[in-house]
Structure 1
Amino acid sequence: MSVRITDIREVTKPIASPIRNAYIDFSKMTCSLVAVVTDVVRDGKPVVGYGFNSNGRYGQGGLIRERFRDRVLDAPPGTLLDDEGTNLDPDRVWNAMMANEKPGGHGERSVAVGTIDMAIWDATAKIANKPLFRLLAEREDRTANPRVFVYAAGGYYYPGKDTDLLRAEMRSYLDRGYSVVKMKIGGASLDEDQKRIEAVLHEIDGEAQLAVDANGRFDLETAIAYAKMLRNYPLFWYEEAGDPLDYQLQAALAEFYPGPMATGENLFSHQDARNLLRHGGMRPDRDWLQFDPALAYGLCEFQRTLAVLTTHGWSAARCIPHGGHQMALNIAAGLGLGGNESYPDLFQPYGGFPDGVRVEAGRVTLPDFPGIGFEGKENLYREMAALSA
């Protein structure tokens, strides 16, 4: 059986919401939805892989349609296959996408490539008739663990949202089985944020842990002022205090904040990850890394990032990716990451889990759908099937 990619389709979809964090609002947010169509036929229909980009970055239709799509479709079909010629080789497809690209400049193109890469891996696992997490574990000669830690990300600033509504939101996450919840900081004064934090801690009252996220808003002075306030509370982590590329700020902050810190969701290559570990003062015994494969050139690049972690004495178990999508869930289950972000009420239908999957004691168990498992999420698959029809 020979395999060919016959088409790559993209549509830009709105995921707008009136919420905001410390840096941006999401009122005009979009994402790209991609379908990779193959000539492999199952049950009378072609096998199609699907992908989309994570929230926080906009749709990448221009780059996908004008640059990366045609490189894949124009490549000699045999050059995109594995050694047996019976399935796609995602790394070879990735190399075709990145042909004639200069190094550096990991901004928007990393999102475009990561979106297509997600669809390629979905198609590859479907052709193999295996869940992606099991395919990944087999490739690494390891045992997949379909039970994955997830935390509930929310606590955004919202017009008219007072501490009572914030507490009710966090209570709803506990009621749905989460053991860690996250809220935004940095979009109000330090005093107001402290009141918000104390309100949430009072609400969860030891039933769960609280993480806080500044979304890169602070300069060093403000980051330190917050650190001195935050260290008085038993937080799960203090996330992305300053600009993601200001490694000196991150390193300096460790002197003032002994608790766990987290960052990395806005680093889009293994080179940037390496610089964070070299210069950012991150501590492998307590801190967390949040690289999002969907934003950072995809799983092919994420595996290079994991190799960088190993070189610098880090475990993959210290990675909890940003994004709240099923791709990262599969990677966590297949490659032994520490867990995954979840957006219980936001960025639908792209976030979340397959229908029927419930959070129990802060964890979900992935079902055995072939590929990434999008077909198990009815409202999302409806959007995907329309693109590939």
Structure 2
Amino acid sequence: MRILEIREAIVPISSPIRNAYIDFSKMTASVVAVITDQVRDGRPVVGYGFNSNGRYAASGLLNERFLPRLREAAPETLLADDGFIDPAKVWDALMANEKPGGHGERSVAVGVIDMAVWDAVAKARGVPLWRHLADAHGDGTADENVFVYAAGGYYHPGKDDRQLQEEMRRYLGMGYEVVKMKIGGASLDEDLRRIEAVLAVVGEGRRLAVDANGRFDLETALAYAGALRPYELFWYEEAGDPLDYALQAELPKVYPHPMATGENLFSHQDARNLARYGGMRPDRDWLQFDCALSYGLVEYLRTLKAIAGEGFGNRNCIPHGGHQLSLNIAAGLKLGGNESYPEVFAPFGGFADGVRIENGRVGLPDAPGVGFELKGKLIAAMREATGT
């Protein structure tokens, strides 16, 4: 198996929404197509990758450093013993001559390529990625369906409590049992009013998660923790800066209910530090590392090993991003679930067309690779952007 060509493009995923920290009016994403010498069903095997929302396109890094390294690598150095491309060897080629640390935007660039390589390899093998992961990196069995929650509840110009409630009703009508909303972009009193409006729709706290997107200092994070405590929410997410482990470690002292964080940590070293020093509790808390932002699935496998050494298991992980790659990982490696974006970040968010959410869970189609071809608008956008 050989890589014949690699193409990169930038696509917009802009939206007039905001969370507590940023607005998404100028958001972009990178798309990569890895064209191989394999042919299945009369078509060349092409692997696709893109970066999750919340980070901009990494075109400069891709074209200046990482794609040239992959193009220059001797083809035989990228192969496993069975002749298929080895994503770990590709990863090593991408990271040649990179110093340790600096887990910023380069982790996004590598993650985009890594996604495309895994997609291509699973397609060439003729199996869904979740099946390949279960066999090659799991226990040989996969979850038949995966818990998913509906992420929304963004701040939007002119959006009032009634419209917020209508949004959450739509998610429940789609089959979700847990929904998530943004906090921290308004005053505490206003956010509490918004939370109570949503609770009036979903019925109880265990069906609502809230996300502050790292906005709070310690004093504010503790104030919110005290105010949120009576609601017994599904989780209280990313109260402070993602690298402020000391702040995170203070919250369990006053907040006994589940918390979640980790979507903005981009390496297995940072994940391990969160597990060691962030006060996270394996019996109730959630880790949200997103492989598409953090050097890809090769690194995510290292992350799972790193947190296991600190007492956390795969079931503690519900990845950020709401994309099909994480859904495959969640099924094949038996994670705790996956995020979902029913109404934002189209066409990259969401799952295969026609897949139903039932009782808050989603099944996976039996299609080779990640399954992009079963999501019509997404595969059309990626093919158009990359000319494939």
- Range into which the TM-score falls when normalised by the shorter chain: over 0.9
Among 271, 288, 291, the alignment partner of 1:290 is 288
**Match of 1:39, SS?**
strand
Contact 2:267 / 2:294 at 8 angstroms: preserved in 1?
Answer: yes
Correspondence 1:204-353 to 2 at 5 A: 204-206=202-204, 209-353=207-351
Contact 2:318 / 2:339 at 8 angstroms: preserved in 1?
Answer: yes
Correspondence 1:172-191 to 2 at 5 A: 172-191=170-189
Structure 2 residue 112 is matched with structure 1 residue 115: yes
Residue 262 of structure 1: CA displacement?
A: 0.2
Deviations 1:230-281 (A, max 9, x none): 0010200000000000000000111111100000000000000011011100
**Match of 2:273, SS?**
helix
Q: Which residue of 1 aligns with 2:80?
A: 82
Correspondence 1:144-159 to 2 at 5 A: 144-159=142-157
Structure 1-normalised TM-score? 0.98
**Match of 2:112, SS?**
helix
Deviations 1:345-383 (A, max 9, x none): 000001101111010000000000100000000001111
Q: Which runs of 5+ in 1 are unaligned?
A: none
Q: Give the CA RMSD over aligned residues.
A: 1.0
**What is the distance in 1 between the residues matched to 2:205 and 2:306?**
36
Q: Which residue of 1 aligns with 2:37?
A: 39
Q: Which residue of 1 aligns with 2:58?
A: 60
Contact 1:178 / 1:361 at 8 angstroms: preserved in 2?
Answer: yes
Tell me how many residue pairs correspond in the alignment: 386
**What is the distance in 2 between the residues matched to 1:388 and 1:308?**
39
Residue 142 of structure 1: CA displacement?
A: 2.5
Residue 207 of structure 1: CA displacement?
A: 9.7
**What is the distance in 2 between the residues matched to 1:212 and 1:49?**
35
Correspondence 1:69-148 to 2 at 5 A: 69-85=67-83, 87-139=84-136, 140-148=138-146
**Match of 1:36, SS?**
strand
Q: Which residue of 2 aligns with 1:23?
A: 21
**Match of 1:368, SS?**
coil
Q: Which runs of 5+ in 2 are unaligned?
A: none
Contact 1:72 / 1:97 at 8 angstroms: preserved in 2?
Answer: yes
**Match of 1:22, SS?**
coil
Contact 1:37 / 1:388 at 8 angstroms: preserved in 2?
Answer: no
* Aligned amino acid, residue 361 of structure 1: N
Residue 146 of structure 1: CA displacement?
A: 3.2
Contact 1:181 / 1:208 at 8 angstroms: preserved in 2?
Answer: no
* Aligned amino acid, residue 378 of structure 1: G
Contact 1:146 / 1:367 at 8 angstroms: preserved in 2?
Answer: no
Deviations 1:63-102 (A, max 9, x none): 11111111111111011011122x1100000000000000
* Aligned amino acid, residue 130 of structure 1: V
**Match of 1:41, SS?**
strand
**What is the distance in 1 between the residues matched to 2:357 and 2:131?**
21
**What is the distance in 2 between the residues matched to 1:17 and 1:79?**
42
